[in-house]
Structure 1
Amino acid sequence: MKIAICGGTGFIGQSIIKHWTTQGHHIVVITRKIPSNPTSNEQLEYLTWDQISHHPESLENLDALVNLAGASLSQRWTKQAKKRIMESRLTTVSTLSKLVSRLQNKPAVVIQASAVAIYGTSLEETFEENSQTSVMDFPSDVVQQWEDAADSIKEVRLVKLRISVVLGNDGGAYPMMRLPFRLGIGGRIGSGQQWMSWIHISDMVRLVEFCILNPNIEGPVNASTPQPVTNDQFGRAVASVHHRPYWLPLPSFLLKGIVGELSLILLKGQCVIPSKALEHGFIFAFPGIQEALQDLK
């Protein structure tokens, strides 16, 4: 297959590229700046946004286009940071929408990144793809506008991949989340009862591929395990896997003082179930937190 990927230099993107190149696919990485020392691999091609804007024909006859681009939420949410986070997503989607409209032979499918934050937060509710979305804070507002913008991508099968916390060793949040436990000072965050929906990086990569290969999948798809956990359950699992104590809680007020509004991501959450993936036959290699963390040890 010939697949283009935006945001291919990030944690998830790099994992996807590694998987696809080993399978012999031709990957086009769309980036702001071509790496000074790109990987010597004839299956891997780099194009800048300027290049594809002037020469959209370079993306003709794609089997799939995957858009993961967007500034990280893992930064202090200053006024400027919020603007950068929002604009990075909306600008990228708008550019891709215009690009797709100019193609004579459009990609068979566009996989557009989204996030489970679109459901809002709750201690009691369980969210599936057909659940009502709710704008109640900055993350949910970002994702709602992100998905609304993606609707401008026409005449292709569009999958909105609502991504949860992706657990892996080479990036994302997990290395920092487990660090306190490795240091022997891990414990719950806040009440510990807030939900954490998550997915192992291997299942994340496989789910993207599954959505590309299954022509009956479109619209929202929850990229999360069928076994979400509370923050307390997650912490106990990390402590158990690394044979460390589970004892020092991090109070909500202290976390808010350290990272500001970003603390919302850790202090609030949502219980998300991947109903659409399961209904179409996707099998998770790591459905449970204990086995997932043991694999990442």
Structure 2
Amino acid sequence: MLISENLHMLLSVLADGRFHSGTALAQLLNVSRSAVWKQLQSLAELGLEFNAVSGKGYKLEQPLQLLDQSQIEANLTPAARALLHQIEIHSVISSTNTYLLDLAKKTQVSGWVCLAEYQTAGKGRRGRTWVSPFGHNIYLSILWCYQDGPAAIAGLSLAVGVAVVRALQQMGVDDVGLKWPNDIYWKERKLAGILIEVSGESSGPCHAVIGLGMNLYLPPQQAEVIDQAWVDLQQILGEQVMLQRNLWVAALLNQLLPVIADFENQSLPEYLQEWRSFDCMLGKQVTIFIGQQRFDGVVKGIDDQGLLLLADATGQLRAFASGEVSFRTV
């Protein structure tokens, strides 16, 4: 769906989480009160819940901080700012990753950042949909051009995971873990996910789009479709998180941009020890699915190439380059 200018203005007013009368909203938008009601009805399509109380007016269930480029850039470090080419903020987009993959066909630029308030087709790993209610979470993708081909950036998702954990710790989140190959967990519940998509020549220049989805607040109704244990930052840090969204984006970019920019030069070994210190699967019973095949065992960490090491019931060690990993209740 498209967001009209009136609907965007309405959201900007209601973002404070306070009651606003129908009369005041109608005057602001220069429309009738029935037109205001019609606009409010469309909020449900964006995953937004609102309250209507006679004599008080309308308010959002949760206050929002809409994305603001100037606020984000004001909180960037000089190092991150130097690596940033451009920030694009979309009210509605199919997927921030898809947008930058299309852009990569037209440009060799690195440091292009795409953010969205709402994704109609947010992408998770293996074709899953990423739940993307309007204005609640962070949907962020970064485009970067690498000169030496996909092989030179093997393991990039592990380095990106380290960067995300650094940002979380800097913002006061403890007990963060990394689940191979690219999920960020908090006390065995998923907080964020990374999706890296690469296009270009096998032995020449290639583009990587590094996508990150992070839960700030997931409304219960929206979270019903999620089939795994999850958590959001509001549960961890409290309601103030929703009013710090631009600060969180800046904190992530401050860590992500230098890691992404330097990876081709530093490569995976620079991040392995730090990644291992956050490994939340080490010693856990897990199941790995590769296509129709299933492998059960105990995680023994990752090797120097970033492959997952799994010991089966006989103690035999096997390395996995990819696969869907599920914790197993014992």
Task: Provide TM-score, normalisation by structure 1.
Answer: 0.26
The structure whose residues are more often helix, as a share, is 1
Structure with the greater alpha carbon radius of gyration: 2
Task: Provide TM-score, normalisation by structure 2.
Answer: 0.25
